[in-house]
Amino acid sequence: MLFRIIINIFVFLLIIIECNSQVLIKAPNDGEIFIDMYPKSGEKVYKKVNINGTTWLAENLQAKTFNNGELIFHAKTDKEWREAGDFNKPAWRFHNYDPNNSESFGYEYNWFAVVDSRGIVPDGYIIPFKSDYVNLVNHFGGWDIAAYKLKSKIGWADYCLGGEKLVNCTNCSNWSADYRKIVPCHKCKGNQTVKISTPIVKRTGNGNNSSGFSAIPTRLGLTSCGYDYRLWKPKSKNYLGQTAWWTLDDDGSKFAYAFFIENINNVYFQLEFKYEGFPVRCYFGG
């Protein structure tokens, strides 16, 4: 009996050691999404992904408190959000102020929450600088390729190539201004541009998510096959074509940089007012 108890204890210890080794020693493959067994204590256990040896969150941040336990102000209306921004007050909100959006989109924060010294990301994690996103883009092939690998497989608005557009007139592009006054161009009638028409080709805005980064669209995309520019509104519900996250970089005044991804596979940085609301991603920095 005693021998059987000793054997059972030994087996139990082996199981614990094996489980711990899977968590602490076995690293996930590049682009592999995982959930570790020891996340920061709190309300959310995050999906994570290994990218080039670095652990990133594979979803947007959902923190209602600073790391010291103090509540971040929750803005429930546009009025409350604007007032928080007017006083440089850290704030968060649900996407479109709808709690049902939290699992899909995470929370949106103003930049004052992002840089608050009390911290909003899990222990050991870092909110990226522009340079961190540049490294991410370069790792996945550069500015022309990375977006496709960073985007989720569903949810992105389709976009169209082709149609009518104005191009420079090749017949008179080298004419001097004086010669152009004397001899009218038969091709462009003096406009210096001509309208060309090419077949419209519909393309999916989705990516292949080979990175595991799982970027989902959170904002209206202006380049969409389902968008009516004359009425300035979407023709269908499937029009989300853009997302962005705050970086830690600002211009020293009222603007800070956000990192953007679009359905047309653009990636870029853009200065935004610090009172704007964007999601947050972060990576483990030790």
Half-sphere exposure of 173 (CA within 13 A, CB side): 7
Q: What pLDDT shows up at residue 3? A: 43
Contacts of 281 (CB under 8 A, 6+ apart): 56, 57, 60, 61, 127, 128, 245
What is the arithmetic mean of pLDDT over 208-232? 78
Return the pLDDT at 233. 56
Give the 3-state secondary structure of residue 1: coil
pLDDT of residue 224: 65
Cα(60)–Cα(216) distance, integer angstroms: 9
Q: Which two tokens stand for residue 166?
A: 């104005």
Residue 26: both structure tokens together? 């076995």
In one-letter notation, the amino acid at residue 281 is R
In this structure, are residues 95 and 105 in contact, taking their beta carbons and an 8 Å threshold?
yes
**Would you say residue 27 has pLDDT above 60?**
no
Beta strands in the chain (DSSP E): 33-34, 48-51, 54-57, 73-74, 91-94, 107-109, 125-126, 159-168, 193-203, 219-220, 227-228, 233-234, 240-250, 255-262, 267-273, 283-284
The helix/strand/coil state of 194 is strand
Mean pLDDT of 23-45: 65
Strand order from edge to edge, sheet including 255-262: 219-220, 240-250, 255-262, 267-273
Q: What is the pLDDT of residues 99-130, one digit of tens each?
A: 999 989 999 999 999 999 999 999 999 999 99
The mean per-residue pLDDT over the stretch 236-244 comes to 78
The answer to whether residues 112 and 91 touch, using CB atoms and an 8 Å cutoff, is yes
Q: Which residue from 251, 256, 243, 245 is spatially nearest to 205, judged by alpha carbons?
A: 243
Alpha helices in the chain (DSSP H): 2-24, 78-86, 102-105, 111-114, 130-139, 146-150, 177-182
What does the pLDDT average to over 214-231?
73
Cα 239 from Cα 6, distance rounded (Å): 63
The pLDDT of residue 24: 34
The pLDDT assigned to 184 comes to 85
Domain ranges of the chain: 33-157+207-284, 161-202
Its pTM stands at 0.78
How much is the pLDDT for 18? 34
